[in-house]
Amino acid sequence: MDKTDERLLEQIAELHGVPEGSYNIRKNGESIARNSNADIEIVSKADKSGIDIIVKPNVKNKSVHIPVLITAGDFHDVVYNDFYVGKNSDVTIVAGCGIHNCGSGDSVHDGIHTFHLEEGAKVRYVERHVGSGDGSGGKNFFPVTKVFQKDNSVMIMETTQLGGVTDTVRKTTATLRGNAKLLVKEKLLTDGNERAVSDFDVKLLGADSSADIISRSVARGKSYQHFKSRLIGKNRCFGHVECDGILTDSARICSTPAIDAAHSDASLVHEAAIGKIAGEQLLKLMTLGLDEKQAEDTIIHGFLD
């Protein structure tokens, strides 16, 4: 790996070299490094591009890294990854993709990830997207995440996109059985003419299932963001969606909630707040010696932290 690869790995996976444990590092459509162990096995798919990640039952406090690097311009990478998480396991999965495009053609990554959580399984899933490079070609991401949770399972998703991505549409679907829990924390920053769409579709099917989806976003320049969410409650359940956005310059943010309570004991809530940075906040920081740009950046950093 060269310096660009190392920088991207640090940004998307906080790696400073080859990780310990199970991992698969993919670059420009090919696996360049892989390791499995007795707890977590990684196997190439026979019928299409991608891997199966198999976490054995009762595995605790283990991690697997599956970062993707794209450094080729005019390149479209599609990968299908399936995660099979055994009963009562507790693991962290670090994914994400970094695109460095210095060419004129678009670089695109489509990551289709499907999670199968057995009873009592717990997954912390960390996904970061980063775009860089001074070419005119796009740095585009179109991830699809599908989650199937059995009884008493927990899925924690932490998704981050903080700059350089030209176009992204992130689609997430989830189906939850009895007492299953889904927690999502999304952080998003767009600038220039960038576009970002987040689309959540969550079905709460089991008794006492719950979903908590929180999105924090900042739109700068002439960028456009659209947050979509659909919660369906078909049993005694609780669902909460919160979308908070900060607008600057000539940017635009849309929020489109949909709530479908199909059971008398379904409790579903949606909250949305979109606006500019308060003038008194800027003024307070500027009285401490910051200029307006520094004050704005400080507020945005704290908002997205």
Residue 215 pLDDT level (bands cut at 50, 70, 90): very high
CA distance 191 to 189: 7
Residue 259 has pLDDT above 80, yes or no: yes
Report the SS3 class of residue 283: helix
Average pLDDT on 231-249 reads 96
Residue 102 pLDDT level (bands cut at 50, 70, 90): very high
Residue 281 has pLDDT above 90, yes or no: no
The reported pLDDT for the residue numbered 174 is 98
Q: Which of 34-48, 109-123, 273-287 has the lowest mean pLDDT?
A: 273-287
Give 207: exposed, middle or buried? Use CB within 10 Å, 0-12, 13-18, 19+.
middle
The reported pLDDT for the residue numbered 194 is 97
Residue 101 pLDDT level (bands cut at 50, 70, 90): very high
Can you say how many angstroms the Cα of residue 207 is from the centroid of all Cα atoms in its chain?
A: 27
Q: Which residues are registered as beta bridge partners of 161?
A: 129, 188
Q: Which of 23-37, 230-244, 255-269, 284-298 has the lowest mean pLDDT?
A: 284-298
Q: Read off the pLDDT of residues 115-167 as tens digits, 9 standing for 90 and up.
A: 999 999 999 999 999 999 999 999 999 999 999 999 999 999 999 997 899 99
The reported pLDDT for the residue numbered 129 is 96
The reported pLDDT for the residue numbered 19 is 77
